[in-house]
Structure 1
Amino acid sequence: MLALVVAHLVLAGLLPLVSARSRPAAFAVAALPPSVALLWAFSQTGPALGGGVTESVAWAPALGLTLSFRLDALALVMIILVSGVGAVILVHSIGYFDRDSPQATRSAALLLAFAGAMLGLVLADDLLTLYVFWELTSIASFLLVGQGGERRAERRAAVQALLVTVFGGLAMLLGFVLLGQAAGTYRISEILADPPRGGLVPVALVLVLLGAFTKSAQLPFHPWLPAAMVAPTPVSAYLHAASMVKAGVYLVARLSPGFADLAVWWAPVVVVGLGTMLVGGWRALGETDLKKVLAFGTVSQLGFLMVLLGAGDRTAALAGAAMLLAHALFKAPLFLTVGTIDHATGTRDLRKLSGLRTALPGTAVAAALAAASMAGLPPLLGFIGKEAAFEAFVDEGGARGYLVAFGLLAGSMLTAAYSARFLWGAFATKPGVEATVVHHRPGALLTGPIWLCAVAGLVLGGAYVLVDLLVMPYAAAYPDEHGYHLALWHGFNIPLLFSALAIGGGLLLHRARATVDALSHHSPVDAQRGYRSTVDGVSRLALVVTGRLQAGSLPVYLGVILVTFILLPGVAAVVAGQWPADQPVYDALVQVPLALVVVVAALALTRSHRRFTAVLLVGVIGYGVGGLFIIDGAPDLALAQFLVETLSMVAFVFVLRRLPAHFTERRPTWLTRLPRLLIAAVGGITVAGIAVVLSAARVGPAVASGEFVRLAPEGAGANNVVSAIIVDFRALDTVGEIGVLFIAAAGVSSLVLATRYDTRRKRESGREQVSSGQSGPDHEREVLG
């Protein structure tokens, strides 16, 4: 499994070499790894539907970090989406992108890299492994939506998608850590086998759901998905219909068998999912861009999937897994249809399209087949999944069951309505609108993938037994109360009535589209406006905080650092730390006079009026601390301290030659001095207290320290462990630190020498304005004082 994921990523890095010779060939090559992954998954169907296929690779055994993968029924369904539908979309891209398209090169490589990241995500059996691939998909989505960044809409949409999904991902990471610590393991299969309860588990689950909601465009985070429609249509079809947006749904589906019995899990999922389904469906009825219609439809369908896979019911889980497959098989071809129409006519505006039913009859039939599955018409797979969804909550009964059932019915009416709106807008002959001219007749590479996915939805609807066998092992994680199985016909019952009402109600809504269009644009709540207000508010807050803190004052900077230290690690040490019961006041009597010298010098420093006196007192403090190091048995550290203090004093003396002898600032009053005194005193006490608490927390030698002691004589030929660490064990770190110091010294020297050069030229020429480097005259005058 790891080899398949790595193959995707490695080949993605090599694809630009192929694109340099032939861009169509790059998409053809990119379709190979997903195809191989799909074939491999099908070859493992038997074990996957049984106990599952597992694989682990330890990459940091001492820390217990492993790359763990598992192929089971749910992962197999997702691989059909990620690899199967992904390969079809990559083939479609060969005909979609022009041979000289600047988007083709980057899109081929990024789509393949995204496919590899999604494959790793759905196979991950470890929370941390899942998180790594989760964020890789966010990065790939950012690059694919933003493309080259030439257009402002692309940049804004890419940044919005990244901010929302990464914000949720970070919250989810914290939830993973809390959940893994509560369970004692980060292996997902082990967590589900014995789910933890109590403690911080509810907090962990809420944080995990937050990540799932942002990734799958749930309320109120959904606006990023319609905004991302600025991406090329194949990108939208793959990321925002078939694959990436289902990552959050997949996460809910993966964890629900262990936590769906908790109200803190199912209640947010059901409420947010129903709200998302209704809002997304309603917004789709007011859009005029065919991609936006499908985008808000995708938001609605994702809410539908959330409800099914998070409710904690066996029949609902069965319906959800079937709808996962059905959604990819009808939404991907519909997006590809929009790309084909745009490629052929140059527009996606349904108000300008007319008569394409006769101009593009093959595409129209395939799109109608896919839209019928989305609306829930038999004998397509979408109908089977929706009827199972109605069955789950009608059979459940009670307040929750009937509320969810009627909510799904209302959402399904909206689904049927925007399905009809899509077909009408794309292919109908509209009165008063001229027939749309087809400039480029779509070839087999554009229409073939549409037909393949649409026909697959029809075939699987008839072969519902195969779908039932595929998804039943996942649903079997829940108690079997009704013995329900997927089928085309369950007799005349309430779920069948709900299906008929959904279709009929949707057609009536579409017939009243003029009124619905007007109403859909009048909403008191706008999530996109809320996102912009949030971003603007954070920017204004950042400006205010930066203006207050970055004041150009060293005392302010030191005060902020000390206050932050007091509030964060200081409070944590007080709350969680433990003061040692046998803490001595001193270990050796000579420590007392040295400590008094340091304290007296520090107090005298605050009262000093002369700069030279202040420098000497700082030196006394440093030498006193060095003396304490000697007493504590660290002569090497004391020597370093003495050298630093001596060099610092020499540097200060050179600087003091150019400064006034006395401090020239106005002496502060007690009112302004008191906050400084309090911050300094509390900060010093906090540092001392944390040092005592942390030193007392160690009950035995650290593992790393023991290894350093053992390896120093043999590996480094040194008896001084500190020296061995600095010179040998952390040699690269030390070289890096030296490099940073060298760069800083070179920069300071350059500035000093440049100023001296400018001063000399000014004296020689007698002119006020001089020229050096690339600075202007005003900056030169500022440098020269």
Structure 2
Amino acid sequence: MIQVGIGLALVASGERLRRWSFALAGATTLAIFGWAVARSSGILDGNPVVEHRSWVPEIGLSVDLRVDGFSLLMVLLVAGIGTLIQLYASQYFSASREGIARLAGLLAVFTAAMLGVVTASNLLLLYVAWELTSVTSYLLVGWNDRDPRARASALQAILITGTGGLAMLGGFVLIGSAAGTYDIPTLLAAPPTGTQVQVGLVLVLLGAFTKSAQWPFSSWLPGAMVAPTPVSAFLHSATMVKAGVYLVARFAPAFGDQLPWRPLVLTVGLITMLAGGWRALRQYDLKRILAFGTVSQLGFMMVLFGAGTPEATVAGVAVLLAHALFKAALFLVTGVIDHETGTRDIRALGGYGPGWLGPKLAAIAAGLSMAGIPLLFGFVAKEAAYEAYVHGEIANSAVVLAGLVAGSVLTFAYTGRLLLGAFRPGPAFEGPPLEPEPEPIEPIEHAHRPAVAFWAPAALLSTITVVLGVFPDLASDLVYAAAGSLDPEVHHGHLALWHGLGTALYLSLLTITCGALLIGGGRLIARAGRVLRSPFDGNDLYGACLKGLNLVADRVTGVVQSGSLPTYTGVILVTATLLPGLA
């Protein structure tokens, strides 16, 4: 609540504090991170922090907060990356930029809402925090309210995620009424069954799919890239888009064996992973490459957590941690490039002056981690994912594993496109016209030297992914405690860089080889893309739904608002006559 209050105060402060608003918001977020670190020892030992406050007891609504191993991981990511984002934003925006105090305040309120999602121990409280993230995301994406693209993208995001949120609320009510409780630990310890619960699970998954940009609801995430880079780096890589993944991770061990949970989650996750990776290969804008890559990685996590097995749960936690580190770093470096060169188009990038070694190394380390190269934490996480399906007892595991390998090949390829496009020696990226812009792109002639404080947050995140890649056991306690809090069947183990020669390693080598070949297959991708684009494009579905709703609204309005005074009088009289009788 303190975080919300500070955020609202910053929103109302106008232009008084300017860039100091980021320092104030960052200090409160850093305090939350410090609290989590101080409590981590007991939580990792299996002693969660629990708080209870009665709110609206008549409907079973109370403020129940619980920080266990998985919640601790999420709190550390949200608060830690949130602090770095506030520092980064203070360098990203000029002191004279209008509305930066409002942006800092909205980021603080969003942080509080996301912390509410990952610590809520009551379904109804979780829903309240969930919707608050949607509202603040709408305001953040549409922060530049003079830009019609920002307004349209913000509207698209809140319509899709808001509709999914309403469906999720219905699912919570169905499941909670069947279980006789809305307390999440109690419900998951003794999960209810039956047709009502199955319908509720589908509705809950609909909310998770829309929030985490799963196919066919993924179109809002690339559209949200019109937001400032600090917003994209925070909301669309490390926090908000993980909310749906978080929900699936919580529910999967308890409900994974109930139909249609596992088939639905695995199918949607695989389609999302493949579709997102394919679309990422066809972009010129660095942020859109990262956006579609995020869609693909979210599908990857859905496949892992949705399985509901101990091995897949551990792998899912590792992938979630790795993704938050490398994707936030890549977004931050992209913002540095955009800020100092004035473009994100890979056809114009390539020539940089002195002072760019730090951002380059940070991006390369984070990118190679995303691609799954050994000695980086992304490789450790991907190996764990392969192992989960090589040795896991999951129906159709071979089909799912093949899909994961194909998706990882695409990940390697679009990572190569990103890094070569951003840092390739020479004046511009040379590649086939995959998705050409209507106007010609001129190569940049000059890039300003970025301040160290500007790229330092990205360097810190990249350093962590390198350290955890070389010494993965440093993350073992956190990863296994998080997985164990989700599934009691998870037993403590150790993350390792080398598991010996085996199927998972061979699949990793296959992934790297095929991905490297795909990087050079630009013309083949362009040719295939003209055929495969429509089935994978959720924008068509969104446009059709919006058009249909507008048509229905026009017709209903035409009937109700006929302009006839006798008709209006008759409706009033009939309503006044019938309502007392119905009561």
Same fold (TM over 0.5): yes
1:584-599 correspondence to structure 2 within 5 Å: none
Matched, 1:534 2:542: no
Answer whether contact 2:428 2:443 (CA < 8 A) is retained: no
Q: 1:538 to 1:17 in 2, by over 3 A?
A: closer
Deviation at 1:464, TM superposition (A): 2.0
Whole-Å Cα distance in 2 between the matches of residues 52 and 188 of structure 1?
A: 14
Q: 1:177 to 1:17 in 2, by over 3 A?
A: closer
Q: 1:213 to 1:17 in 2, by over 3 A?
A: closer
1:508-523 correspondence to structure 2 within 5 Å: 508-522=517-531, 523=533
Deviation at 1:264, TM superposition (A): 1.4
Matched, 1:290 2:298: no
For these two proteins, the number of residue pairs brought into alignment is 567
Q: Which segments of 5 or more consecutive residues in structure 1 lack a partner in the other structure?
A: 1-5, 566-621, 623-679, 692-785
Answer whether contact 1:285 1:520 (CA < 8 A) is retained: no
Q: Of 8, 11, 17, which residue of structure 1 is paired with 2:3? A: 8
Partner in structure 2 of residue 616 of structure 1: none
Deviation at 1:519, TM superposition (A): 2.8
Deviation at 1:474, TM superposition (A): 3.6
Whole-Å Cα distance in 1 between the matches of residues 8 and 362 of structure 2?
A: 35
Deviation at 1:380, TM superposition (A): 1.3
Return the letter of the residue paired with 2:398.
Y
1:469-508 correspondence to structure 2 within 5 Å: 469-476=477-484, 477-478=486-487, 480=489, 485-508=494-517
Q: Of 410, 416, 420, which residue of structure 2 is paired with 1:414? A: 410
Whole-Å Cα distance in 2 between the matches of residues 166 and 270 of structure 1?
A: 23
Answer whether contact 2:117 2:130 (CA < 8 A) is retained: yes
Larger radius of gyration: 1
Partner in structure 2 of residue 551 of structure 1: 562
Q: 1:178 to 1:501 in 2, by over 3 A?
A: same
Matched, 1:363 2:359: yes
Whole-Å Cα distance in 2 between the matches of residues 357 and 504 of structure 1?
A: 33
Partner in structure 1 of residue 389 of structure 2: 393
Return the letter of the residue paired with 2:70.
L
Q: 1:561 to 1:303 in 2, by over 3 A?
A: farther
Deviation at 1:155, TM superposition (A): 0.7
Partner in structure 2 of residue 524 of structure 1: 534
Whole-Å Cα distance in 1 between the matches of residues 551 and 342 of structure 2?
A: 41
Whole-Å Cα distance in 1 between the matches of residues 487 and 370 of structure 2?
A: 27
Answer whether contact 1:249 1:302 (CA < 8 A) is retained: yes
Partner in structure 1 of residue 439 of structure 2: none
**TM-score in terms of structure 1 length:** 0.69
Matched, 1:306 2:302: yes
Paired residue secondary structure (1:356): coil
Q: Of 39, 42, 51, which residue of structure 2 is paired with 1:44? A: 39
Partner in structure 2 of residue 81 of structure 1: 77
Paired residue secondary structure (2:19): helix
Q: 1:10 to 1:398 in 2, by over 3 A?
A: closer
Deviates more, 1:211-220 or 1:11-20: 11-20
Return the letter of the residue paired with 2:366.
A
Whole-Å Cα distance in 2 between the matches of residues 271 and 210 of structure 1?
A: 13
After superposition, give the CA deviation of every residue in 1:643-681 in whole Å (9 maximum; x if it has no partner).
xxxxxxxxxxxxxxxxxxxxxxxxxxxxxxxxxxxxx9x
Answer whether contact 1:18 1:25 (CA < 8 A) is retained: no
Partner in structure 2 of residue 165 of structure 1: 161
Identity %: 49
Whole-Å Cα distance in 2 between the matches of residues 405 and 559 of structure 1?
A: 64
**TM-score in terms of structure 2 length:** 0.92
Answer whether contact 2:171 2:203 (CA < 8 A) is retained: yes
After superposition, give the CA deviation of every residue in 1:165-201 in whole Å (9 maximum; x if it has no partner).
1000000011111111111111101101111111410
Q: 1:505 to 1:561 in 2, by over 3 A?
A: farther
1:348-747 correspondence to structure 2 within 5 Å: 348-356=344-352, 360-396=356-392, 400-430=396-426, 436-476=444-484, 477-478=486-487, 480=489, 485-522=494-531, 523-525=533-535, 526-553=537-564, 556=567, 688=581, 690=582
Whole-Å Cα distance in 1 between the matches of residues 367 and 568 of structure 2?
A: 61
Whole-Å Cα distance in 2 between the matches of residues 332 and 16 of structure 1?
A: 25
Deviation at 1:163, TM superposition (A): 0.3
Deviation at 1:103, TM superposition (A): 4.0
Q: 1:342 to 1:395 in 2, by over 3 A?
A: same
Partner in structure 2 of residue 610 of structure 1: none
Structure of greater relative contact order (alpha carbons < 8 Å, 6+ residues apart): 2
Answer whether contact 2:348 2:427 (CA < 8 A) is retained: no
After superposition, give the CA deviation of every residue in 1:133-183 in whole Å (9 maximum; x if it has no partner).
111111111111111410110110000001001000000011111111111
After superposition, give the CA deviation of every residue in 1:265-288 in whole Å (9 maximum; x if it has no partner).
111110000000000000000000
Partner in structure 1 of residue 235 of structure 2: 239
Whole-Å Cα distance in 2 between the matches of residues 119 and 481 of structure 1?
A: 25
Q: 1:432 to 1:271 in 2, by over 3 A?
A: closer
Whole-Å Cα distance in 1 between the matches of residues 567 and 174 of structure 2?
A: 36
Whole-Å Cα distance in 1 between the matches of residues 226 and 50 of structure 2?
A: 39
Whole-Å Cα distance in 2 between the matches of residues 425 and 359 of structure 1?
A: 19
Paired residue secondary structure (1:414): helix
Matched, 1:208 2:216: no
